[in-house]
Amino acid sequence: MYIRRGRVAGTLSLASLAGSLGLSCALHGGAVLAGDYADSPQVDEFIAEMTRDYGFASEQLFGLFREAQRKQPILDAVSRPAERAKPWKEYRPIFITEARVARGLDFWREHEEALARAEREYGVPAQVIVAIIGVETFYGRNTGNYRVIDALSTLGFDYPPRAPFFRKELREFLLMTREEQVDPLTLTGSYAGAMGLPQFMPSSFRAYAVDFDSDGHIDIWKNPTDAIGSVASYFRHHGWVAGAPVASRADIAGTEAEKGLSAGLDPAMSVGELRSLGWRSRDSLDDGLPVTAFRLEGADGDEYWMGLPNFYTITRYNRSVMYAMAVYQLSDLLLQTRSGRR
Instruction: Give the span between the Cα atoms of 68 and 108, in whole angstroms.
Output: 38
Q: Tally helices (H) and strands (E) across the chain.
A: 15, 9
Instruction: Give the span between the Cα atoms of 77 and 74, in whole angstroms.
Output: 5
Task: Report whether 240 contacts 308 (CB < 8 A).
Answer: no
Can you tell me whether residue 295 is helix, strand or coil?
A: strand
Instruction: Give the span between the Cα atoms of 289 and 312, in whole angstroms.
Output: 12
Close Cβ partners of 266 (under 8 Å, ≥ 6 residues apart): 292, 312
Distances, alpha carbon 218 to alpha carbons 113, 206, 301, in Å: 18, 11, 45
**Catalytic entry in 67, 119, 136, 172:** 136
Query: In what order do the strands lie in the sheet containing 290-298?
Result: 269-270, 290-298, 301-307, 247-252, 279-281
Task: Report whether 145 contacts 191 (CB < 8 A).
Answer: no
* 49 is a catalytic site residue: no
What is the phi-psi region of residue 239: left when phi exceeds 0, alpha when psi lies from -120 to 50, beta otherwise?
left
Task: Report whether 12 contacts 47 (CB < 8 A).
Answer: no
Q: Quick one: which of 38, 86, 42, 89 has its CA closest to 61?
A: 38
The catalytic site residues sit at: 136
